[in-house]
Chain A
Amino acid sequence: MNPVVMHTVARLMAPVLLLVSLVLAVRGHDIPGGGFVGGLMAATAFALLMVAFGRPAARKQLRVHPTRLAAAGLLVALFSGVPSMMEGRPFLSGIWARLPVPGTDGLKVGTPQLFDLGIYLVVLGTAMCFILGMARGEDTTAPEMGG
């Protein structure tokens, strides 16, 4: 395989994958999708970068340490359950509101979306943890194979 092809594809595809992952995560509450799928898809974007440019480059693109990403996600997901407790309802009860956005009948926002965002981060962080962990000490860039 020619690394030029790989590099070009990775460069083009990674942002697209990330964008799609976000779309999946946001639409997830009422139609298929959700934080988990979104997070996995985001992880594939970084995995693609790793295959094309090597482990350090992918790690650098992620910016944050993957375990910290997962930890932050877990905190966000847990926190999304707290407001309902403040109201005296059970942990993780959904609280919804409509933001007035001109041109629509209001944008639906609520704590379950916060939960989904948390899951997105947890999945992305954990998956990257494993992927980067397994690639440790190995040259992961696609080898130049003759033929």
Chain B
Amino acid sequence: MTPSALLSLPMILCLGAAAAGLLTPSRAWPRRWLALMTMVALAAVGAMLLVTVRREGIQSMQVGGWAAPFGITLVADLLSALLVLVTGVMGLTVVSYSAATLPASKEAGAYYPLVLVLVGGVCGAFLTGDLFNLFVWIEVMLGASFVLLALEARQEQLEASIKYMSLSLMGSVVLLCAVGLLYGAAGTLNLADLAVTVPGLGTPNLMTAVSMFFLVAFALKAGAFPLFFWLPASYHTPPAAVTTLFSALLTKVGVYALARVFTLVFTQDSQLTSTLLLVMGGLTMVTGVLGAVAQYDMRRLLSFHIISQIGYLIAALGLFTRSALTALIAFLIHYIFAKSALFLVSGATARVTRTYDLHQMGNLYRTQPLLAALFFIPALSLAGVPPFSGFFAKLAVIQAALRAENWIIAGTAVVVGLLTLFSMMKIWREAFWKAPPENQPEEPTRPLSLGDGVLGPCMAMTLFMVVLGLGAEPLLELADAAAGQLLDPEEYVRAVLGGRP
């Protein structure tokens, strides 16, 4: 398959399957299988893309054959390709988990097509080569997420979606302003073209102002301090499968966009942006984890940990060295799997105990041994305990901070890691270890087994974490190569604009 076809396939597959799914009769099985097949295909395309980019360098294509920088460009460097692959894997996980947990009536509705649209939007955001289309794909993704959040229309969901929607739309307004201002100043929005033109514009202050618009817009999408408040207000209301999908993909698009824009376009005032990103990252880590410590609702607690981990990513971006960007990419991959595993397990726990409230749980260690193990590994991994993937990812971030002689970030990362461990142990103690609450009649619950289909996806995620932990070397190597591409925009520019200087 030609690289140009590979680049457009993720979006064609997802949107096409979403449309085809809506045209099938309103039954659970055709839509479920269509979604499953599409996700398998998406993961395969992602893998092929990654192999192609690794072997032949950055790939680009011009949609409709209109030459860059005038047309719509799709570009895949190692980071994009890796993220598309991970998106495919996550899509597959979430769809198979949904098939096991959701009632058939919901599966028969618009659920799977919406998931496909969301995944298509995410892939589009990862692969697009210009800022306006980044905006468009982010909106596609957000539109699907709004509907997914409010699909059951329970009152708490309505409240959550109204908050989430209004704040996201405000973020979109900021992003659109940023895009408009940048076009007014630079006359182009093609990322590669911008990388060439922006340094020579002669209006560095204006560019810094514009870059702040982008910073605010993407930080809001990523859920960074002080713009994270929409996240814990909404992520705990939809079914576990939807929360997993959101936590795995939505905020990552914000982080990816930050990384892309601040490595490729706005490199002129790196002192200011890097200081801002470092402060933002540090505060995000701390506020996230402190917010989590106070929570006793399992999913709210995990939502706060999303924020805290986003802090690591943003701080790593702020350090802006090769080792820091390597750490960022490795951490991103690890964290998507770890967080998803925890949300999936929280869903499975709630299935057994019928609650997300930690006070009402207990004794799961004895009644659900497999579930306990599947919680324990990602929890330790998230906190950064060896030998799981989180250890190497966190170690990489801390090492990068030490190498940049930024003691504050390194110290914060260590302390937040410890607090994360404490917070995970709280869930362990409350849900799995302590005696069941007394007012609850002891009902004999059958231990969940792999046959239920609920634990399969959790198991897969956990397995990834063990594999990434024991065999961290290839991942770090890949991340290092991807970081090299981020730091050297020349290859990107050449891939998009061809021989043009």
Contacts and interface: CB of A to CB of B under 8 A. Distances in A.
Interface of A: 67-68, 70-75, 78, 81-82, 84-85, 88-94
Contacts of B21: 71
B110 A67 contact: yes
A90 B15 contact: no
Nearest to A88: B2
16 contacts: A70-B19, A71-B19, A72-B23, A73-B19, A74-B18, A75-B20, A78-B12, A78-B16, A81-B64, A82-B12, A85-B5, A89-B65, A90-B4, A90-B8, A90-B61, A91-B4
Contacts of A73: 19
Interface of B: 2, 4-5, 8, 12, 15-16, 18-23, 61-65, 110, 113
Contacts of A89: 65
Given A93-B64, A93-B65, A81 B20 contact: no
Contacts of A78: 12, 15-16, 19
A90 B19 contact: no
A82 B23 CA distance: 20
A94 B64 contact: yes
Given A74-B15, A78-B12, A90 B23 contact: no
Given A90-B4, A91-B4, A93-B64, A81 B12 contact: yes
A70 B147 CA distance: 16
Nearest to B20: A75
Contacts of B64: 81, 90-94
B12 A68 contact: no
Contacts of B20: 71, 75
Contacts of B110: 67
Nearest to B22: A71
Contacts of B12: 78, 81-82, 91
Nearest to A93: B65
A78 B22 CA distance: 15
Nearest to B5: A85
B23 A75 contact: yes
Contact of B63 (A72, A75, A82, A92): A92
A68 B20 CA distance: 9
Given A91-B4, A91-B5, A74 B19 contact: yes
B15 A91 contact: no
A93 B4 CA distance: 12
A84 B63 CA distance: 11
A112 to B, nearest CB: 9
Contact of B65 (A68, A71, A82, A90): A90
B5 A68 contact: no
A50 to B, nearest CB: 22
Given A90-B4, A91-B8, A68 B15 contact: no
Nearest to A115: B64
A82 B12 CA distance: 9
Contacts of B16: 74-75, 78
Contacts of A85: 5, 8
Nearest to B117: A74
Contacts of A88: 2
A111 to B, nearest CB: 10
A85 B20 CA distance: 20
Contacts of A67: 22, 110
A119 to B, nearest CB: 13
Contact of A72 (B19, B61, B62): B19
A68 B63 contact: no
Contacts of A84: 65
Nearest to A111: B64
Given A82-B12, A93-B65, A94-B64, 14 more contacts: A68-B23, A70-B19, A71-B18, A71-B113, A74-B16, A74-B18, A78-B19, A81-B8, A81-B64, A89-B65, A90-B8, A90-B63, A91-B8, A94-B65
A75 B14 CA distance: 11
B146 to A, nearest CB: 13
Nearest to B1: A85
Nearest to A74: B19
Contacts of B15: 74, 78
Nearest to A67: B22
B96 to A, nearest CB: 23
A84 B246 CA distance: 34
Contacts of A70: 19, 22
